Amino acid sequence: MTVPHAFDPEPAGSGTAPTHDLDALFPGSGTARPRVVVKPGLVVPHAETLPPEPADLPAVLAPVVDLLTGRRAAVLTGAGVSTDSGIPDYRSPGSPARLPMTFQQFVSSPDHRAHYWARNHLGWGHLQAARPNAGHRALADLERGGALTGLVTQNIDLLHVRAGSRQVVHLHGRYDQVRCLGCGDLSSRAALDERLTALNPGWRDRVAEDLEIAPDADAVLSSTADFRVAPCVVCGGVLIPDVVFFGSNSPRERVERATSLVDEAEALLVAGSSLAVMGGLRFARRAARDGKPVVIVNRGPTRGDELATVKVQVSTTTSLPYLAERLTAGPARG
């Protein structure tokens, strides 16, 4: 699921879009049936190694400071902001190749759902235990100092909120919520964890050695055949994490709120995102179209490099505190 980290697809029209009939899974005329569209994946640029941090940080970031001084910016963040909090990503140089489960796979069979929830049962605690890093805290400082209109994140880890950011649009959802595909009931992931633990006593301990964490509260496991899944407590329906799955679209209302933050801003700061999917790239294109400066801070190439007024290859945990010190009245918290 980025991502960071679930990801939006290319716009419709980029290929054939077969649909999946959900009548058998969600019977009854009163049951909401999500429309499922299979869309082509993206070819993602991938560098071999991360560039080193610059020796002269002030010189490298001087153009960024010059552009953003006196301008309120919107910020778009990706998985690169959270890697220093111990959350891996899908796209950084050296990341192992993974293909997250799609929504189509999740709804297609009970076996897929058992496989997903078994992995998530292990991996979600990793996100819950993660703590904001200096980059998250610097963005919260920038917001408090009046330098930002708000923040749009492609991450589901809630670290921006924990760091103190208030105006946050979670473009791809939040890992801490679960939704029923039948009745739409929204409940907490923590409550579901208690139910899954009761249904699968000792299961975590049995598979702990088979664990590799992925960016989306998922875990890579070789066997999940014996895992029991909990149904919705309201209607007995299928529960799904309240996030945007790989290959699916963000809800329109969320996209509209994010667009408003970008439109209200005088510049766009992209931090820790490769802009490899349309969900994030659209905002860089919109800002550039409107003649607003686009600043990209990312270690490695991005799909929006040609849109950037300034592009710097510096880690967000290094660059954002430096920017917060110079673009607000007080120093950023380390």
Just list the catalytic residues: 172
Angle formed at CA 136 by CA 240 and CA 189, multiple of 5 degrees = 20
Instruction: Report the SS3 class of residue 219.
Output: strand
For the chain, give the longest Cα–Cα distance.
64
Distance CA 230, CA 155 (A): 26
- Write the Ramachandran bin of 13: left for phi over 0, alpha for psi from -120 to 50, otherwise beta: left
Q: Is 183 annotated as a binding residue?
A: yes
Please tell me whether 220 is known to bind a ligand.
Answer: no
Q: Which residues pair with 75 in a beta bridge?
A: 151, 269
SS (H, E, C) 43-55: CCCCCCCCCCCCC
Helix axes 189-199, 110-129, angle to 10 degrees: 120
According to DSSP, the residues that pair with 173 across neighbouring strands are 243
Phi, psi of 288 (to 5 degrees): -65, -40
Binding site for Zn(2+): residue ranges? 180, 183, 232, 235
Residue numbering of the annotated binding site: 180, 183, 232, 235
